[in-house]
Amino acid sequence: MLTTTVELREAGIRLKELVQLVETGNDVVLTDGNRPVARLVPVSPRVAGLHLGSAWTSADFDAPLGEQFWTGEA
């Protein structure tokens, strides 16, 4: 894997090329001067049901909040 470092000002001009690099498995790091500020990464496809059952919602999730919540009284 190759890491390419590109100045932000230059990245806009070379965007299509940089996206192609990311699609082929390379890292692209965007810098502002000598400071890294962002990294381009490929979008991974979402898989429905991948973590089925790992999250839950309580039965009273959409119930109105009590007066104590709004007033801060304990």
Rg (CA), the chain: 22
Question: Do the beta carbons of residue 28 and residue 7 sit within 8 Å?
Answer: no
Residue 66 lies in a domain: no
Asked whether residue 50 is assigned to any structural domain, the reply reads no
Count CB neighbours of 8 within 10 A: 12
Instruction: Give the count of domains, the chain.
Output: 1
Which domain CATH number covers 24?
A: 3.40.1620.10
Alpha-helical (H) ranges within the chain are 8-11, 15-23, 67-71
Burial status of residue 51 (CB atoms within 10 A of its CB: 0-12, 13-18, 19 or more):
exposed
Say yes or no to pLDDT of 74 above 70.
no
| pLDDT beyond 90 at 56 | no
Q: Each residue of 14-55: pLDDT tens digit?
A: 999 999 999 999 999 999 999 999 999 888 877 888 888 888
Domain residue limits at 9: 1-42
